[in-house]
Amino acid sequence: MHKVEITGVDTSKLKTLTNEEQQELLLKIKDGDMQAREKMIAGNLKLVLSVLKRFNDRKESMDDLFQVGCIGLMKAIDNFDLSHNVRFSTYACPMIIGEVRRHLRDNGSIRVSRSYKDIAYKAIGYKDKFLLEHHREPSINEIAEYLNVDSVDVILALEAIQDTISMSTPIYDNGGDVIELEDQLGGNDYITENWMRNNMIKEAFSKLSKREQAIIYDRYYLDKTQMEIAEELSISQAQVSRLEKNALKIMYDYMR
């Protein structure tokens, strides 16, 4: 992020707080000290900036995203529970990310079916609630069970509300000749082939058990390690490895 001033804030002069200072301020905030809350917000603006680096490729005003990120920061401050014995930044980052993603989702230009949109919004709401209570994100199976829907529907719904880009997006410009995304992808033939492949993957994915679906989604969509998945599912890493290999074989055999 190259911009120094965002919404009137000179980001090069922002101060940070030590963990001890944050603990003291959080205790005061719980007692209703609004001045301590202001200091806590000011002392964590760099945290908001570090989170926004994930969204540098978006065609969004960084001023707007910074303000949205600050809303997430304030929610984290107001809801943080000192008894959980975790660093504030560990708790706040997902809250800030969630707030920014909600902003991008609600202001997106892609039309999504109402049923999938409803599932996706409920899933995101449950993820936020679950994160506050358990300090980890719920698995796809846990979300599906809570919403009483298939895990596949949860995955497709969450995928459906992700942002996309125009085929006319410039990816290279030397001052004269402009190369657009469509030029690199090979036009409609590539698009048709890619669409067919994606549909085959979705069909193959639907042949898996719910546990296998959750593992494949966590491994290849959320980029989690086998150890992380094992801890979430309360099984061994070896079991996760076997389930993953079996799931990939099922999908491969179906797509051959």
Does the pLDDT at position 149 exceed 90?
Answer: no
Least confident piece of the model among 7-11, 24-28, 162-166, 224-228 = 162-166
Is 42 within a domain?
Answer: yes
Instruction: Count other C-beta atoms under 10 Å from residue 229's C-beta.
Output: 23
Q: Which of 54, 53, 45 is nearest to 92 (CA)?
A: 45
pLDDT of residue 200: 73
Q: Which residues contact 155 (CB under 8 A, 6 or more apart)?
A: 140, 205, 213, 217, 221
Is 234 within a domain?
Answer: no
Domains of the chain: total: 1
Q: Which helix (H) or strand (E) holds 149?
A: none
pLDDT of residue 74: 92
Answer with the residue of higher pLDDT: 107 or 188.
107
Percent of the chain residues past pLDDT 70, beyond the cut: 73
Is 100 within a domain?
Answer: no
Q: Which residues contact 215 (CB under 8 A, 6 or more apart)?
A: 229, 233, 240, 243, 244, 247
233: amino acid identity, one letter: L
Query: What are 50's two structure tokens?
Result: 């570090």
**Structural domain of residue 16, as residue ranges?**
1-88
pTM here is: 0.45
Does the pLDDT at position 24 exceed 90?
Answer: yes
Is 247 within a domain?
Answer: no
Distance CA(57)–CA(64), nearest Å, equals: 14
Over residues 190-204, the mean pLDDT reads: 61
Is 178 within a domain?
Answer: no
pLDDT of residue 39: 93
Answer with the residue of higher pLDDT: 131 or 197.
131
pLDDT of residue 162: 61
Angle among Cα 222, 154, 242 to the nearest 5 degrees reads 50
How many residues comprise the chain? 256
Over residues 114-131, the mean pLDDT reads: 83
Phi first, then psi, for residue 207 (nearest 5°) are: -80, -10
Distance CA(51)–CA(73), nearest Å, equals: 11
Mean pLDDT, the chain, whole residue set: 77
Answer with the residue of higher pLDDT: 161 or 211.
211
Is 126 within a domain?
Answer: no
Is 23 within a domain?
Answer: yes
pLDDT of residue 196: 55
Is 225 within a domain?
Answer: no
Query: What are 187's two structure tokens?
Result: 């036009």
